[in-house]
Each structure stands twice: as C-alpha cells, then as structure tokens.
Amino acid sequence: MTKNLDALRHSCSHVMADAVKRLFPKVKLGIGPAIEDGFYYDFDKKDGFAPEDLVRIEKEMQGIIKADQEFKYSEISKKEALKLFKKEPYKTELINNLEGDTVSLYKHGKFVDLCRGPHVKSTGEVKAFKLLNLAGAYWHGIETNPMLQRIYGTCFESKLELEKFLNLREEAKKRDHRKIGKELELFSIHDDVGPGLVFYHPRGAILRMTIEDYVKKEHLKRGYELVMGPHILKKDLWVTSGHYEYYKENMYIFKTEGEEYVIKPMNCPAHMLIYKSKIRSYRDLPIRFFELGNVHRREKSGVLHGLLRVRGFTQDDAHIFCLASQVESEIKGVIDFVLDTMRVFGFKDYKIDLSTRPPKYIGTPEAWDRATGALKEALSSKGMEFEINEGEGAFYGPKIDIMVKDALGRPWQCATVQCDFALPERFDLTYISPEGKKERPVILHRVILGSIERFIGTLIEHYGGVFPVWLSPVQAKVIPITDRSYDYADEIFNRLQNEDVRVEVDKRSEKLQYKIREAELAKIPYMLVVGDKEKEAGTVSLRAKKEGNVGSVKIDEFIVRIKKEIKEKI
C-alpha cells in the first residue's frame, strides 16, 4: 500500500466516523486505522448497527465529501484533550495512555479526532469508496473488554480500481473454502463438540491423503528421514525449549498423577530429543528429520476461520541439524523445495518476507545477527527479492516466509524457514568435530506447505473447487443410462480401479440429466456415460469438466489419457 493510498483510506475512515456521529449522535468512538485492503472504525452503539445502516452512512459520507472540507492538523495539551473528549470514554482512555504532554488532532468541518495522520488535503479527495461489512470487535482485542461494532470499508484512488477490487471480492466469496467445502462434502467443523477442530469427510480425507502422500515421497527423495513424536510431553521439556515461558497462553496444559503435561503445539522438542539420543559426528550432518506432526494450539474463538485458522492441525514439519558452513546451502535447498512444490500444486507467483528479532526472544543478539545474515545471504545469492519485517521473527530465531499468490492474486502464508542458534544451546545438542571436540549444530526449522489444513483451504479457493485430476477426490464417474448397462458400468469401474483411478458408479434410478448435473456440481473431472451403444462398441461417451462433451472414446484411450494427467500432475 502506497503512502498516498494509506492517507486516503485513513481520511475515509474519518469521513465515515463523522457520518456515523451525525446520524447516531449517541455513538461512542473507538479507533479507525487504514489496513491492507481498506480501513475500519470501531463504534460503541447500544443497539448495534444493521446492514441497511451502511447505505445511510454512505449517503451521509457523500455529503461530507461534496463539501470538500480541509483536514487540519493541530496539537493541544492532554488537559485540553481530556476536556474536548470528555463524553468519549475510549478516546479518554487513549489520551491517558499517551506519552508526553500534548496530543495531536485532525479536524474537518466540525468533526475532530485523535490522530497522528497522515491525511489527504480535504474530504473532496475521498471519492472511490465502499462500506463493506459489519463485525464485532473487543476493545483492544481483549475478550474481557466491551464488544464494539466495527464497520469495514475500502477506498481507492479511482473508481476503476474500486470496481476491480469489488469484483475480486465477489469472486472470492464464490471461492470461499467453507462454502465449497460444504458443497463438495470435504470437511465440517462442529462448534458443539469444539470450535476449530476439523472433521474430514470421505472425499476430504482422500484429498488430504493425496497431498500428504506426495509430500512424504518428496521429502524422502530429498534426503529427509521420517520421524514421529508423541502428542503429549511433560512440562519440563517445554520449559527447556522456551515455549512454556513465551507461548504458554497458546498451549493446552493438563495434570495427571501429579505431573504437568502439554499437548504439543510444536514438533521441535521431540526432534531435539531424537537428535540427542546418540552421539553425532560432523560426518553425519546435515541430518534432516521430517514429520507430518499433529499439533494443537489454544487459539481464541474469535480468530478461528474455517480451515485457515484452527485449533488442531497437521504440519509438514522438519528440522535440519547442520554445520554452520552448511547453513546457506541448506536454506537454498529448502527454498528450491518450496518453489518446486508450489509449481506442482499450481501456484506460479509468490512473495517473500524476512522477519527479524522480536522484542521477546531467547539466545544472544550476536547469534541472532548471524542467523539473520545467513537467511539474507541465501536469498541474495539466489537473486530473490524480499521485504524486511522488523521484529516479527519467532522467539528462537529469524525466519523467511514464502507466501504464494492464488488465482485472484491474494497472498497465502505457507512455507517458512527459521534459523536457530538458541535451541541447540538449550538442549545441549552437540556433534563431534574433526578435532574430536564437541560443537553445537545449527538448526533450521522449516515447513513447505505449513498447516495441511490451511493449505487445503488455500487450494480450494485457488481452484474454486475445480481441482486438477491428480488432486480430485473422485477422478471419474461412470453413469449408466439404464439398468441394462449396469454390468458394463461395473466392468469399466473395475478396470479403472485396477489402474488406481479414483472412480464411482452412479446406479441410482434418476434421470440421466439429473445425474450429469450432480456430477458437474461435484466438480468431477470426467463423466463416462454408457448405454447399449457404448457397451456394444467397447466405448464410453466422455464428458470432461473443462471441455464439455468430448464424444465417443475407447476405454483404453481414456485410461491412457487420465493416467497421463495423474502421473504428470497436469
């Protein structure tokens, strides 16, 4: 987001707040920042807003914009500010928490707000805007605080850009993985048994299995060793790793027989113990441990979102134990692995961030600098562009995040690689050097897909549920026209099954067009319609999801075609 767009959106949030106060004078104001896709403002309104209120607010905003009122900056003392905002409890709280003796304000017309800016010159510059939706939001994001009403909106420099955004937003609604997941019977989430916990239905389980099988094979081909750790581990291990101090609020903790245990939120500590189970030599390194690890994290219910944010999920997690001299080449290997994998799954574009030391961390600043330098060098030597996220690293090390862009150009967090000099020290991990001395390995924490659940959600939205053949839970459906064709339909079914094609037969006593329509809605790549004519000729009437009616095809020809698509992951 450019500085001008940020200022424009921030200005639009002020215009919206002004309009709300004009229409609903008793409303109390919260905050209204610009965000990545627009802006929002939080309000405390006793009876809440209704969707139809957004139309009224937009109309009022148009009047403020037409008046072309100048945005004026000023500074006043805290004492004056408290007097000015004495009827605004949330503003009063903000003022009391500000450092210094003065506060900054922005005013347009009669509307005044606490603000550091930036803003455009006048309300007249705010033209291409749209209010999008309502949501609840706790004040400061804390559940014990009052629940406020949040109005989201967006604003652009031109109407053409706004229309493009709104069209993409509508397309995104159609691709919502929660909607498609229900329609295709892939998964469900039942809040009555636990929010954020995923139930995979038969077709969703096949999709997940296909992804995991591919991932396992690729890891083994690239020199990783498969390991598995337990789901619960004693508290002491998490104290050693630092998670108990830095991550405790996100962990499920319980007691049994007087001992405190943790349901693992990460796979790292178990991999540390496997490494430490015997003496390692420098000749053994690098060692790459890989696990499809099931983890659970105590996420707040307000942030849960379909498959994208859950409490129980699986990571394609690996830890690479290596020499300092091997760090750069191993990071490059991970990056190559990520990009190769994303191409196979149909993602062609990506964005890279490098996150540095956060305010709370373990290890020494010197070790952090070495780790950050290694990540930068690996990216630079591969000629890859990246952005720096200051202070956003994991508590044990800096990280590279690779976000893939989907068919709508939206970024999705998937892969990450983190360089860690701290945990080898905490777990007293060593290897024997050429001189016979004990030395510390460096650890790279990394995932390729990340959360399998989130990746499935990403795939659903990227493809709109129309998966390539190799990923489709059902790759072909045989549809007999009459019961006279059942035996031939079964023959085709058996042949395809023997060729490892995922196939179903629809023998229901429904009309042919109804069966075809249902298969189309289920987004099945191929339909094989068979009747007396096809049985006699040894053919099928082939319908392809992306081509429509292909016509009469010999069954052997179809088998060659579909097996090629599956093998080559077309």
Q: Please give the positions annotated as active site.
A: 268, 297, 315, 317, 319, 399, 445
Helices and strands in the chain: count of H runs, count of E runs: 18, 28
| CA–CA distance, 526 with 427 (Å, rounded to integer) | 53
Task: Return the SS3 of 308.
Answer: coil
| Joined tokens for residue 425 | 């020290």
| Joined tokens for residue 262 | 């943790």
Pairing of strands 102-108, 111-114: antiparallel
**Crossing angle of helices 555-568 and 486-498, rounded to 10°:** 30
| CA–CA distance, 154 with 152 (Å, rounded to integer) | 7
Closest CA to 238 of 225, 252, 226: 252
| CA–CA distance, 497 with 25 (Å, rounded to integer) | 68
Phi and psi dihedrals of 520, rounded to 5? -65, -45
Return the sign of the alpha-carbon dihedral for residues 344, 347, 352, 353: negative
Do 262 and 252 contact (CB within 8 A), yes or no? Answer: yes
Measured at the CA of 243, the angle between CA 242 and CA 248, to 5 degrees, comes to 130
| CA–CA distance, 238 with 321 (Å, rounded to integer) | 20
Cis peptide before 286 (omega within 30 of 0): yes
